[in-house]
Chain A
């Protein structure tokens, strides 16, 4: 399946958001997720199935003013 991860097209296997994060190497990381512009809370990742072409955002703390 082809998704857009943080703005870049990418081929992935897992279609469930929590499993996808593992596959991509985010295991244990403090991140928040959005799919197609909507926030997906941590406890909903398991129930969130991805489709071809979905835009997935994985974001983390950063310096800010």
Chain B
């Protein structure tokens, strides 16, 4: 059984908490999907506004596990410091490690990612690295102590789905024992189902739910798609073939010609 640093999740949809029309709608989406893990972040707090305090109360009320991220960090130092701050604020060793290398695609800087992952693992963090489907980087991240990998489906917020099916499939095949999460780029429940059918262990998404016309309904749809994809994977799907093969037996067919 592949777990997330020893944690078993029934619901394999991990949901981001940003960009919802209101905190109430975020809460509704989390509840509608029965989500067990949400991603959160850190930003400068104003002593007057105290927005962060209100947000934290909301998350506590939802009773979900949090996966803090290092979103927006471009250097190893920034990402490591952010992770250290996140651990104190959220009181969890979990960290979704992002080290952004390129601004148009928000592609991870794999070199910085490996370096930061090694530092954080040594400090006792349980790192969920936001990576690509690159096999060599995946190996290095595992060597650095990561026990979960989170390759992108497509660039963050693009909603393009699974851009590199071959890459995702080979990552799954190369690391059969490693928990894998498709993180980012998912636009539709069918994309999420496809990721699970490939044998991925979970799907992490945010924009596709937050920016839907009805976020709660979309969250529920994603949750069902993830569950369906997981069930299908466990049921061992048929192999595709190029030629037709009649599903109705020909034997015993009446001669009516």
Query: Which A positions have Cβ atoms within 8 angstroms of B?
Result: 6-7, 24-26, 29-34, 37-39, 41-42, 57-65
Contacts and interface: CB of A to CB of B under 8 A. Distances in A.
Interface in B42-100: 42-48, 50-53, 55-56, 59, 68-69, 71, 77, 81, 84-86, 88-90
A30 B44 contact: no
30 contacts: A26-B47, A29-B52, A29-B53, A30-B52, A30-B53, A31-B89, A32-B42, A34-B81, A41-B88, A58-B47, A59-B42, A59-B43, A60-B43, A60-B44, A60-B50, A61-B42, A61-B55, A61-B89, A62-B41, A62-B51, A62-B55, A63-B17, A63-B18, A63-B19, A64-B41, A64-B69, A65-B39, A65-B71, A65-B157, A65-B184
B40 A63 contact: yes
Contacts of B17: 63-65
Contacts of A24: 47
A48 B188 CA distance: 49
B16 interface: yes
Contacts of A38: 81
B43 A65 contact: no
B14 to A, nearest CB: 10
9 pairs of A and B residues whose beta carbons are closest in the complex: A64-B41, A60-B52, A65-B16, A65-B206, A25-B47, A60-B45, A32-B85, A39-B84, A63-B18
B138 interface: no
Given A60-B42, A60-B45, A42 B88 contact: yes
Nearest to B70: A64
Interface of B: 16-20, 26, 39-48, 50-53, 55-56, 59, 68-69, 71, 77, 81, 84-86, 88-90, 156-157, 184, 205-207
Chain B, interface SS category? mixed
A57 B43 CA distance: 9
B40 A64 contact: yes
A54 B184 CA distance: 37
B92 to A, nearest CB: 12
Contacts of A7: 44
Contacts of A59: 42-45, 52, 85, 89
Q: Which of B17, B45, B89 has the most CB of A within 10 A?
A: B45
A42 B51 CA distance: 20
B85 A34 contact: yes
Contacts of B53: 29-30, 60-61
Contacts of A58: 44-45, 47
A29 B45 CA distance: 10
Contacts of A37: 77, 81
Contacts of A34: 81, 85
B68 to A, nearest CB: 7
A32 B56 contact: no
Contacts of B39: 64-65
